[in-house]
Amino acid sequence: MAAADDLQFEEFGDAATSLAANPDTTTVSIEDPGETPKHQPGTPRSSGREEDDELLGNDDSDKTEVFDRIKGSLLPIPGKNFVRLYIRSNPDLYGPFWICATLVFAIAISGNLSNFLIHLGEKTYHYVPEFRKVSIAATIIYAYAWLVPLALWGFLMWRNSKVMNIVSYSFLEILCVYGYSLFIYIPTAILWIIPQKAVRWILVMIALGISGSVLAMTFWPAVREDNRRIALATIVTIVLLHMLLSVGCLAYFFDAPEMDHLQTTTATPNQTVIAAKSS
Amino acid sequence: MAEAAESPGDRETASPRPLMRDLKAVGKKFMHVLYPRKSNTLLRDWDLWGPLILCVTLALMLQRSSLDSEKDGGPQFAEVFVIVWFGAVTITLNSKLLGGNISFFQSLCVLGYCILPLTVAMVVCRLVLLAEPGPINFIVRLFVVAVMFVWSIVASTAFLADSQPPNRKALAVYPVFLFYFVISWMILTFTPQ
């Protein structure tokens, strides 16, 4: 993109003015003009990072970069591409891996807490930690976070061989986008503890809106050149799979709050009969 | 493991000497975890006996009884074991990839030893659970587990944080936080039959 090229030259200028603070950054820019400057001005890099580049091509990230990417996944700006804006040929696996790990435990723990709170007054309820759900959650989340990007990457490669696309993403970049787009589900999972159906569904809509739009805006440029129907079908599938993940997790890990109301209406015999018939 | 440097004459003496030396080394490291200071003992003479003892103790106390239903109970012995060791290895790999200058086994050693406060919390929780159940019981356990959780994190970051370059300290510390949080959660939600 022409805008990106202009930014490269501007970064060069910034690096020159901050020469005293960042000698390493300036050195790399001067000696290798052909190399895309992966560094933001203000983040000094030591030579030891070269080994990190070779190690899975990841974890080249600083705290600020990871935080910036997380913020970018929470605030999708129309027209701005997450990959171009934040990843810039420097994908990291730290964010996706630990966001998925946190999400696994957030869902399992919140589900456990929510079930405990829903069934709190019942005499027959005995609290169980439901530890098995942790491994189920881990399988679901990690399978989604790795297999869907793999399938999408394969699909995009296949379409690229048929239609010349201006924009194409590497597998690590797709992995990175998917990982960061899952971040919004962590606070959503914690808020799902609230045992109100309406609140939960509003949260699902908000989370899906945010992370779905990040994904849609990222992948639209990659399929835009293609056949209209295939492009639309790809975006719709991406969003649908995302929705399936969130609704599935809500349904499986969090008990429905109506059961609470069902129990409290057993005061009179008539209502007991009604409750028995409707269950 | 910490090798006991034996002179040729020692081979004739009985094995209790290196065993006592190892036990003393383990005990010394326990003290260093309980009173975290800037010291290199945990890193210099690393060993994995302490973490093994702690992990087995914790797993034995946390495992659900065989009478529990298979589906919904607490973790099994193997599950606790796997979480502790797999979690420690993952965190170690993470800090290596982030560019830390601490060796693999040193990091495992530190993470394992810093489970000591949480093991103490488990023992205390088990004792508290012998009393009658109720909200006060829960609040006491919550307080104990919370304090020990903070203690574990403080102890491990005192040793691990220095090994990272400054702009990546937070990235290296967060997985440690998550690790001890999960263990604390398992301890807090432990319910005997």
pLDDT in tens, B80-134: 888 899 999 999 998 888 887 888 888 898 899 899 999 999 999 999 988 888 8
What are the pLDDT digits (tens) for A102-154? 999 999 999 999 988 888 877 777 788 888 888 899 999 999 999 999 999 99
Mark yes or no for CB contact B97/A127 under 8 Å.
no
- pLDDT score for A4: 47
Q: How far apart, in Å, do the first and last CA atoms of chain A sit?
A: 60
Q: How far is B103 from chain A (nearest CA, A)?
A: 16
Instruction: Verify whether the Cβ–Cβ distance A63 to B170 is below 8 Å.
Output: yes
Q: Percent of chain A, pLDDT > 70?
A: 69
- For residue B178, the surrounding DSSP H or E stretch is helix B169-188
- Pick from A71, A42, A88: which is nearest to A214 by CA? A71
ipTM above 0.95, yes or no: no
A146: exposed, middle or buried (C-beta count within 10 Å: 0-12, 13-18, 19+)? Answer: middle
Cα–Cα dist A136/A253, whole Å: 10
∠ at Cα B76 (B73, B81), nearest 5°?
Answer: 140
Nearest Cα of chain B lies from the Cα of A98 at a distance, in angstroms, of 7
Q: Which strand (E) or helix (H) includes residue B37?
A: none
Q: What is the mean pLDDT of chain A?
A: 74
Q: What are phi and psi of A269, to 5 degrees?
A: -60, -40
Chain B interface, mutation test: which of A43, A63, A186, most B Cβ atoms within 10 Å?
A63
Contact A94 B186 (CB under 8 A): no
DSSP string for chain A: -HHHHHHHHHHHHHHHHTTTT-HHHHHHHHH-TTS---PPTT----TTHHHHHHSTT-----HHHHHHHHHHHHSPPTT--HIIIIITT---SHHHHHHHHHHHHHHHHHHHHHHHHHTTT-TT------THHHHHHHHHHHHHHHHHHHHHHHHHHHHHHHS--S----HHHHHHHHHHHGGGHHHHHHHTTS--HHHHHHHHHHHHHHHHHHHHHHHHHHHTTS-HHHHHHHHHHHHHHHHHHHHHHHHHHS--THHHHHHHT-SSHHHHHHHHHH-
* DSSP 8-state code for residue B69: -
Cα Rg for chain B, rounded, in angstroms?
A: 18
**B75·A94 Cβ contact <8 A:** no
Chain A residues with CB under 8 Å of B71 CB are 132
Q: What is the model's pTM?
A: 0.76
| Tens-digit pLDDT profile for residues A12-21 | 444 444 444 4
Nearest to B25 by CA among B56, B54, B1, B61: B1
pLDDT of residue A149: 93
Is A48 close to B75, i.e. CB distance below 8 A?
A: no
Residue of B80, B171, B180, B193 to mutate, testing the A interface (most A Cβ within 10 Å of its Cβ): B171
CA distance A184 to chain B (A): 18
Please tell me the predicted confidence (pLDDT) of residue B153. Answer: 92
Q: What is the pLDDT of residues A175-188, one digit of tens each?
A: 988 999 999 999 99
B46-64 mean pLDDT: 87
SS3 B189: coil
The pLDDT of residue A254 is above 50: yes
At residue B12, the pLDDT reads 53
Question: In chain B, what residues touch A52 (CB-CB under 8 Å)?
Answer: 97-99
Please tell me the distance in Å from A245's CA to the nearest CA on chain B. Answer: 23
**pLDDT of B136-180, one tens digit each?**
888 999 999 999 999 999 888 887 777 777 778 888 889 999 999
Considering only CB atoms, which residues of chain A are within 8 Å of chain B?
A: 43, 46, 48-49, 52, 55-56, 58-59, 61-64, 66, 94, 98, 101-102, 105, 109, 112, 126-132, 135
Predicted confidence at residue A33, as pLDDT, reads 41
What pLDDT is stored for residue A276 in this prediction? 57
- For range B71-88, the mean pLDDT: 83
Indicate yes or no: CB of B98 within 8 angstroms of CB of A94.
Answer: yes
